[in-house]
Chains A and B, each alone.
Chain A
């Protein structure tokens, strides 16, 4: 699986849009991209998933350029409750019946009042 690289930490003020970029230079044709959010002492929670171009849901957008060597998670108008660690994952579509993904170190987002 391709290795992912993210900033270790980011700070943002409440109400701002936050963009977290993940690098996955060695992504393969069969790989897809997923982002998770984790609060302290809890399990990660799924945010969004995509293969190419742009995906949007009710909480975030995911931008993936044509070369797929990076992806950007966009959180609109963050609030204090968005303070968490955000993980970018690359998964293998050919893993068979289960999800073969690798978690990296994540980006610790601190939202400031």
Chain B
């Protein structure tokens, strides 16, 4: 299994500012994923981050808006840039445990972001 922590757990930010969310895993993992969950909605994949390579973004998400870093096998950050109220969501980090089977995907506790 993998234990994931995220910082901050929640934040209230002003429009036009940026917030960086940190994701720390207690073991080395190959793949890390960032999801967004808008209020009352399901989870949408933002990007996949592998260590040592550029993140792969899903349709509708761009690097300028959601830059991601993956400096090592246990850590990643997601920045939400130039925020607007539409960015108010829960942002979840997820990992696939290294060497794990197809069901070995774990989620962090999420970061609740409110943009005013």
Chains A and B form a bound pair: no
Interface of B with A (CB < 8 Å)? none
Interface of A with B (CB < 8 Å)? none
